[in-house]
């Protein structure tokens, strides 16, 4: 028997034992209604809540700080629920949650970006069906229902069984990525911001050719373009610019189970371009050596050696005094800065970007959760406008200032008052993106939401990130059984193939790509494609 199968059997055996114990628990399946008076449990309930640990330099403990205390006190006061936070490493969260689910010690409230992980354990009876709880206790969850609505609460409802294994958080600010280039380098070389692939490529070549002018004695450290092991994310707008404009929503669903659009037509040619750049010395040669959470690349960017990169839409402006923008100015000089550009057009001449649906992280309860109502009340509490607004902007004079027109300007706090994630996203589980209740006020405040960063950089990044954006229609086709348990394995094959295809010799590119891509399909990818097509045509027809 192969090691992988042995490991799977062990995980399943552990989970089944946990389920047996859970079923025997009188509290979990008690017929008695929970006693609640004025929104509070008569008897104190205890729940555990997952929180991402981002290992931020200078950050506070994600499970124990000023903001967790705010939540704990509020939940005890308003609902008589005691909350304990459980830190989970952000960059390996799928693997860690998998292991904890199998061991039976997952937090009562879990959050992940991987729905197949949830579905896998739901199939084994390891996840609570939230549909009956959401319906039965609707009156006790006014904030959750008002803010997320039926759309997000029942986004993942199975069209046949009606089960709901997870709640989808709301993506309030639908931004993904941006391409960033050194604004000061463009000025030094007399270059305009690139508006096409050719201009961007010529810019990278100019950076390399003028390394001595740009970096002086550190010319040998020149990196015209940087990327990471996560090729499909960190180059997404370049890669998807090769996707035909006529690519249909149906095909986007069928081939869209990979959240990096890896299976979309044209992606191969985008990777071929990266292969050309790598072999021409335009891409950081050591990018495959550093995995999740490693600070090496960021340190190279902060030191001023990198000319361009693609990342989350506001990435260089995050983290205040510890971020790229501020550190770069300290090390290199006051004019050093990255600015967002938009150089990648598709075959229709549009700067097409595949944006997300209005959903974000998936929140679910493992079957070991003995307090599903208390857990839902927790989600309702953090969704209440006053509470999530406080979590997003913090304390006036410490975490933010209020400008004369009401605009919120965030400030860099230290110690216990620091925010470990942008707008405390790791605590506002039901929303990703600032929401101040007024769209105009929110937009103005986003521009001032980055301490020590001039608003013009944020405005440009905000406007550029979703230019010519496309949101693929949501099709609810129910469970895709062939996806169960395949998320991590296919992700690893995807990432390995992309790295190999970039670093190989140009004459070997097609051979490397075709072999790796076929292996991906043979390892489960094709089965998922076939089942998705079958399910789509079952519910929506063949057109």
Over residues 268-313, the pLDDT tens digits come to 999 999 999 999 999 999 999 999 889 999 999 999 999 999 999 9
Give the Cβ contact number of residue 247 at 10 Å.
20
Please write the tens of the pLDDT for every residue from 402-437. 999 999 999 988 888 999 998 999 999 999 999 999
Confidence of residue 91 (pLDDT cuts 50, 70, 90): confident
| pLDDT of 436 | 97
**Mean of the pLDDT values across residues 70-77?**
98
Q: What is the mean pLDDT of residues 87-105?
A: 90
pLDDT > 70? residue 27: no
Tell me which long-range contacts 202-207 makes (C-beta under 8 A, separation of at least 24). 203/307, 203/308, 204/277, 204/282, 204/307, 204/308, 205/280, 205/282, 207/182, 207/307, 207/308
When pLDDT is cut at 50, 70 and 90, the band that residue 6 belongs to is very low
Give the least confident one: 171-175, 216-220, 515-519. 171-175
Report residue 401's pLDDT band, with 50, 70 and 90 as the boundaries.
very high
Please name the residue that has the structure tokens 């300290």. 330
What the block records as the tokens of 282 is 């335009």
177-182 vs 306-312, strand pairing mode: antiparallel
Joined together, the tokens standing for residue 72 give 């704990």
Q: Which residues contact 315 (CB under 8 A, 6 or more apart)?
A: 178, 180, 324
CB 390 within 8 A of CB 70: yes
Greatest mean pLDDT among 108-122, 441-455, 500-514: 500-514
Task: Yes or no: say if 381 and 130 are a contact pair by the CB < 8 Å rule.
Answer: no
Task: Give yes or no for residue 20 having a pLDDT over 60.
Answer: no
Average pLDDT over residues 525-536: 98
3-state secondary structure 365-378: CECCCCCHHHHHHH
Quickly tell me which residue has 């193939």 as its tokens.
Answer: 497
Residue 26 is predicted with a pLDDT of: 34
How far is C-alpha 159 from the chain's CA centre?
Answer: 26
pLDDT band at 3 (very low <50, low <70, confident <90, very high): very low
Strand partners, 85: 49
Residue 17 has a pLDDT of: 45
Burial of residue 478 (number of CB atoms within 10 Å: 0-12, 13-18, 19+): middle
Rg (CA), the chain: 24
79 alpha-carbon distance from chain centroid = 30
Q: Tokens 């057009």 — which residue? A: 345
Report percent pLDDT > 70 for the chain. 94
Query: Residue 21: pLDDT above 70?
Result: no
CA 380 to chain centre: 22
State yes or no: pLDDT of 234 exceeds 70.
Answer: yes
Kindly tell me if the per-residue pLDDT of 236 is higher than 80: yes
* Residue 285: closest CA among 342, 212, 220: 220
* Residue 28 pLDDT > 70: no
Q: Report yes or no: 311 and 234 within 8 Å, Cβ to Cβ.
A: yes
Nearest to 196, CA basis, from 241, 164, 248 = 241
CA 180 to chain centroid: 19
Relative to beta strand 431-432, strand 167-171 is: parallel
Report which of 14, 481, 533, 534 is spatially closest to residue 253, judged by C-alpha positions: 533
Grade residue 543 by pLDDT with cuts at 50, 70 and 90.
confident
What pTM was computed for the model?
A: 0.81
Domains defined for the chain, CATH in brackets:
20-172+361-389 (3.40.190.10), 177-252+262-355 (3.40.190.10)
- How many whole angstroms separate alpha carbon 278 and alpha carbon 298? 19
Give the model's confidence band at 9: pLDDT under 50 very low, under 70 low, under 90 confident, else very high.
Answer: very low
Pairing of strands 167-171, 81-89: unpaired
Query: Residue 370 is encoded by which pair of tokens?
Result: 């003995």
| Cβ-contact 261, 236 below 8 angstroms | yes
Q: To which H or E segment does residue 293 belong?
A: none
Q: What is the pLDDT of residue 32?
A: 60
pLDDT per residue as tens digits for the range 309-364: 999 999 999 988 899 999 999 999 999 999 999 999 999 999 999 999 999 999 99
């Amino acid at each position: 028997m192969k090691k992988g199968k042995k490991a799977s059997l062990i995980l399943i055996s552990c989970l089944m034992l946990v389920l047996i114990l859970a079923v025997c628990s009188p509290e979990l399946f008690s017929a008695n209604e929970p006693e609640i008076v004025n929104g509070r449990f008569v008897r104190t309930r205890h729940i555990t809540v997952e929180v991402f640990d981002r290992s931020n330099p200078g950050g506070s403990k994600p499970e124990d700080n000023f903001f967790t205390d705010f939540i704990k006190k509020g939940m005890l006061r308003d609902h008589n629920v005691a909350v304990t936070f459980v830190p989970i490493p952000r960059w390996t969260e799928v693997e860690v949650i998998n292991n904890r689910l199998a061991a039976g010690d997952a937090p009562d409230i879990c959050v992940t970006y991987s729905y197949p992980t949830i579905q896998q354990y739901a199939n084994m009876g390891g996840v609570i069906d939230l549909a009956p709880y959401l319906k039965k206790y609707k009156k006790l969850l006014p904030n959750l229902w008002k803010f997320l609505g039926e759309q997000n609460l029942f986004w993942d409802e199975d069209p046949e069984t009606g089960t709901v294994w997870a709640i989808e958080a709301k993506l309030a600010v639908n931004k993904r990525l941006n391409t960033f280039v050194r604004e000061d380098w463009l000025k030094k070389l007399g270059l305009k911001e690139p508006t096409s692939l050719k201009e961007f490529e010529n810019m990278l070549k100019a950076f390399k050719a003028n390394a001595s002018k740009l970096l002086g004695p550190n010319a040998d450290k020149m990196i015209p373009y940087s990327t990471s092991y996560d090729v499909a994310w960190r180059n997404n707008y370049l890669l998807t610019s090769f996707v035909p404009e006529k690519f249909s929503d149906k095909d986007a669903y069928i081939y869209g189970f990979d959240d990096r659009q890896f299976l979309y037509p044209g992606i191969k040619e985008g990777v071929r371009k990266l292969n050309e750049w790598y072999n021409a010395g335009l891409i950081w040669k050591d990018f495959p050596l550093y995995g999740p959470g490693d600070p090496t690349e960021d340190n190279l960017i902060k030191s001023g050696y990198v000319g361009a990169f693609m990342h989350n839409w506001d990435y260089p402006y995050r983290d205040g005094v510890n971020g790229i923008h501020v550190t770069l100015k300290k090390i290199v000089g006051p004019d050093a800065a990255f600015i967002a550009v938009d150089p990648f057009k598709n075959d229709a001449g549009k700067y097409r970007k595949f944006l997300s649906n209005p959903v974000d992280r998936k929140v679910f309860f493992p079957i070991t959760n003995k307090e599903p109502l208390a857990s839902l009340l927790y989600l309702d509490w953090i969704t209440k406008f006053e509470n999530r607004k406080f979590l997003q902007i913090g304390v006036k004079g410490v975490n933010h200032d209020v400008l004369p027109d009401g605009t919120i300007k965030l400030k860099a706090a230290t110690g216990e008052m620091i925010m470990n994630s942008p707008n405390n996203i790791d605590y506002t589980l039901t929303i990703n993106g600032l929401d101040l209740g007024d769209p105009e006020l929110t937009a103005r405040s986003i521009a001032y939401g980055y301490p020590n960063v001039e608003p013009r950089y944020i405005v440009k990044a905000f406007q550029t990130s979703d230019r010519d954006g496309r949101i693929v229609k949501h099709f609810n086709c129910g469970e895709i059984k062939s996806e169960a348990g395949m998320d991590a394995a296919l992700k690893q094959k995807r990432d390995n193939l992309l790295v190999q295809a970039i670093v190989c010799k140009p004459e070997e590119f097609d051979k490397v790509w075709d072999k790796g891509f076929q292996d991906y399909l043979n390892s489960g990818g094709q089965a998922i494609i076939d089942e998705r097509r079958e399910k789509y045509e079952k519910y929506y027809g063949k057109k």
